[in-house]
Chain A
Amino acid sequence: MRRLLREILEQGGYEVLGEAATGAEAIERYKELRPDFVTLEVVMPDVGGIDAVRAIRAFDADARIVMCTALGQQSLINEARDAGAREFVVKPFQPSRVLEAVQQVLE
């Protein structure tokens, strides 16, 4: 998934500053790199995606977060939205959908 997202974002003209394999790592990487936006999976090992959203937003209230999820995790989507995620991309997704979502959060 990370590889696919990287390829899509790079094709879309974005620079990928970093990647993380777990929620905890994502939080640390965010603090270190301060990217313009971050994409997170809802379900991640270690710290889950929603807790990662909360932690990132606690660190940076303006953080722009795009969540990637399957529709089956709808209750989690609501939770993530409440936690501060701004856009959602439902898997399986087409590359252009990812770019649309990123453009939305950057506007």
Chain B
Amino acid sequence: MSASPVSEKDQDALRALARRVDPSDAGAQNNLGVVYFQRGMVEEALDQFQLAVKLDPKMQIAQRNLEIAYRDTGYYDRRITELRERLRRAPDLREARWELGRVYVSLGQYDHARDEFEELIARHPDDVAVLIQLGLVEKHAGHLEAASEWLQRARSLDERSGVVHLYLGEVLYNRGLNRDALDSLRKAIELNPENADAHYEIAFVQGDMGLHEEARESTRQAIQLNPSLGRAQTNLSLERFQRVDGRRSQAAGGPGRVTRPSVESAQPHYHLGIAFRQKGLFVEALREYRVALDEGETRELVLAGMAEVELLRREYEAALSLYDRLVQDGVEQSKILNERGVVLHQLGQFDEALASYRRACELDEGYVLAQNNLAITMAQLGRHEEAAELLGDTVRAHASAIIPRVNLGLLLYTMGRHQLAIQAFRQVIDVHPKSAVAWNGIGLVLTQIGRTEDARNAFARAVEADPRCAEAQYNLSFALSQLGDFDGALRAVTRAQTLDPYFTPQKFRLAIDLHDEESSVEVVPEISADVTAEMSSQALVFDTGLLDNLFSELDHEPPPAPSAEPRDPFSLARDYQEKGLLELAAAEANRVMARGGDALDGHLLLGHIFAGRGLHGEALERYRAARAIEPERTDARLGEIRALLALDRGREALPSALELSDMSDDVNSRIVLAEVQIASGSPAEALETLAAARTRAPQRADLLKLEGDIALSLQNLATARQAYESAMALDPRFLEVRLALANVYREQEAWGLAEDAYRAALDLSPNAMEAAVALAELYRRDNEAKEAVNLLVDVLRSNPLSLEGLLALGHALIDDNRLDDAGQAFERVLAFDDGHIGALFFAGVVCARQRRYPQAVAHWERVIAIDPSSPFAQKARRHARTAVDLQHIFQTEAA
């Protein structure tokens, strides 16, 4: 990887871009990761790849990118080591084990992932989130029956979870059990009608069962709910960038349409320019393209990209100048010539536009978009027959081409050929039943032939398909007013005016190709679709079958079923959140908000989700956005304060926490105030706050624990002991309190009480290494080394890699004078961590006791070299000097 340092400005630009990337689009997240990686922002890249894999666990390219980034950076080696170490110290730590399992899943190491999740389920048998993870792990590993079993167990525990039904449905489908899969996915949809993934997957099941119409409708609904499901894009791969390193100067192009830049060409600024353009950040895109030119990236690609941006921002003169430069440079590509034609067209230079489109068509006879644009220009020049003929040829040759078909319908309508126009629009609707422009076109024709009621229904269908279609809103208002429904007309026209203050007649559409995204954008020339009386009088003869069929469809549109009770639009997102699938939860919450879901609820939910992912900065933004909508909302304020605490900005939260505490009787607001006071360096005030809180909630052990912790931080052992003892009385199974209390007893030299408390902690959690080590220490203090050894051996049996436990065992074995065994215990620690200075020091002690002085000195010298200022190093210096003397004495004696 060749990464150049990234300027602060570039980093800010990239982060701004990241915020605008569709949070539910795994491909976009992956591609952003590649851009980060190319810029040397490895941590950010890893986050993006991980997010992509979590959003779409089947996305192999993101999986490979993650593995490459992992291999190149060793990031996960470190993360896995950290998590394993945390789990060695506290095997019950659910959060760490969960993350470790998820990391293994991300890396495709399913056996390891299974081990972690099985360990979790053994400790929490009813944890639905873990059961889902086990199901997914087995599914990824290809063990479909095992996956079904785990997911069926999850379903039996949480029958109302759409997420469980979704995953189970997919596994059943993979097993070929289509009927069961269908039932499961239907249940998922029944529970969450807006579950895009369930609609998408049920389409596959329906397709395989021969239910093609249903499948098509399901796909359509899925894409409507989550447009990224309909977006086919080639995602970027680090593998390819690495493979072709050094080939960046190759020129692309030559005649032909396909000028899509190869992802192999590793042109970071160019790709970043595209990414900015895709997000509508045109100025940033142009800036990036200019850097690409300076950096020597392929000139013609970059100039074409710049021209595209100028076209999109309607800077036609600038765009034309760039296209002309490309043409002068000898670039003769149909795509470039088509876009140049669009620019000329917009500048009113119709003859030049025609020539440019024609040349594009000559270079590529199958280029639908140029043919479409050529026809529109002809129509604009009054050559309707020629235009209709060309569009007719185009749609016959390319049955799935939509834009030319819509234009053909509109052209035929303007020519008064109403039946043919209806046929053209109808064919669009066959492919895209929710095409607003096609329904609007049908409405126009029906209005023209006096079928106003049917026209009204057609316009209503258009509005339903796309509520932002201003022309359909205007047309609906006209139809309603003609039918005497003036209130309805007023409502429609008001909506229309909010979208576009001026009446917009239906327009023709010019089409262009855009790199790496949906293949066309509409650029609208000002062509009137007004119909002359002469034209409309020509064709009032209709195929009544065609119309009847259309009208019956218009009449029988089922009204939306009224729901029995108001449904929470965020229920699916909450379901994902509960199951620990936080990335999917965030993506779904964003989609609901984009569909008009309540912004306050959405921001709050996203705040909780980001906080759950440890992204406290993001969480803070969301809570603040929620408070901007409803400043007094308690949960938003609580979230904001907790996020500030997590960001070590507790002092900043103090005014808000005080205000909240005054406003609310809720105990949680007192607890959070106490936490803020601690973070602000006022523990005494925190204690007062907690004492006040305790009067309101005397049964809450966590309050007492916090009180004990604060007292401990103030070295007030008596108060701490009192608080912990009270907490224990309320909740004898509170392990952390039991341990904290035992530590206080030990500090107070109440040895008997301490021993009992550690034993009680071990009864609660037999693998609690901290308790075992502390108790072993007490045994050693009482010269009961054998007891200590037995205890530690027992605990290490279930947790053999605990360095802390092995170290304590080594000490106990020294006390028991079993020096060889002690040496082995320390060597075992060193096998896992060869720089562990505690183990090195005591290994030296064992060697010295065995009179192996050179070895002892070697161990101690390493201690001194690793951390010269540590207490171990100071002791090691003293011991080493003694050992050298002793070595000398023994050598002399031997002589």
Contact = CB atoms under 8 A, between A and B. Distances in A.
B68 interface: no
Contact of A12 (B26, B58, B61, B234): B234
A82 B527 CA distance: 58
Interface string A1-23: 10110111111110100000000
Nearest to A91: B204
A100 interface: yes
Interface in B215-234: 216, 219, 229-234
B58 A7 contact: no
A35 to B, nearest CB: 15
B176 interface: yes
Contacts of B675: none
B868 to A, nearest CB: 53
Interface in B197-213: 200-201, 203-204, 207-208
B173 interface: yes
Contacts of A15: 366
Nearest to B170: A92
Contacts of B33: none
Contacts of A90: 58, 174
A20 to B, nearest CB: 16
Interface in A1-59: 1, 3-4, 6-13, 15
Interface in B164-195: 170, 173-176
Given A4-B219, A7-B400, A95-B232, A100 B144 contact: no
Contacts of B208: 1, 70, 91
Interface string B26-38: 1100000000000
B519 interface: yes
A92 B201 contact: yes
Contacts of B216: 3
Contacts of A8: 232
Most buried by A among B58, B174, B200, B207: B174
A100 to B, nearest CB: 5
A100 B142 contact: no
A70 B366 contact: no
B234 A103 contact: yes
A12 B232 contact: yes
A9 B519 CA distance: 11
Interface in B125-175: 139, 142, 144, 170, 173-175
B235 A72 contact: no
B231 A11 contact: yes
A67 interface: no
B518 interface: yes
Contacts of B58: 90, 93-94, 97
Nearest to B204: A92
Contacts of B27: 94, 96
Nearest to B207: A1
A107 to B, nearest CB: 9
A27 B235 CA distance: 31
Contact of A72 (B144, B203, B400): B144
Nearest to A8: B232
A11 B234 CA distance: 10
Contacts of A98: 232
B60 interface: yes
A99 interface: yes
B258 interface: yes
Contacts of B327: none
A98 B27 CA distance: 13
B142 A74 contact: yes
A6 B144 CA distance: 29
Contact of A96 (B139, B144, B232, B260): B232
A99 B200 CA distance: 18
Contact of B59 (A3, A13, A94): A94
Nearest to A98: B232
B229 A94 contact: yes
A97 B400 contact: no
A70 B232 contact: no
Most buried by B among A9, A90, A96, A99: A96
B258 A13 contact: yes
B56 interface: yes
Contact of B144 (A4, A71, A95, A99): A71
Nearest to B55: A94
Contacts of A94: 26-27, 56, 58-59, 229
Contacts of A7: 230, 232, 400
B176 A70 contact: yes
Contacts of B232: 7-9, 11-12, 95-96, 98-99
Contact of A97 (B59, B139, B200, B518): B59
Contact of A11 (B59, B219, B258, B518): B518
B200 A92 contact: yes
A65 B372 CA distance: 33
B167 to A, nearest CB: 12
Contacts of B144: 71-72
Interface of B: 26-27, 56, 58-61, 139, 142, 144, 170, 173-176, 200-201, 203-204, 207-208, 216, 219, 229-235, 258, 260, 366, 400, 518-519
Given A92-B173, A99-B232, 8 more contacts: A1-B204, A12-B234, A13-B519, A91-B208, A92-B200, A96-B26, A96-B235, A100-B61
19 contacts: A4-B207, A9-B232, A11-B232, A12-B232, A12-B233, A13-B258, A13-B260, A15-B366, A70-B173, A70-B208, A71-B139, A72-B144, A72-B174, A90-B174, A94-B59, A96-B233, A97-B60, A99-B232, A100-B60
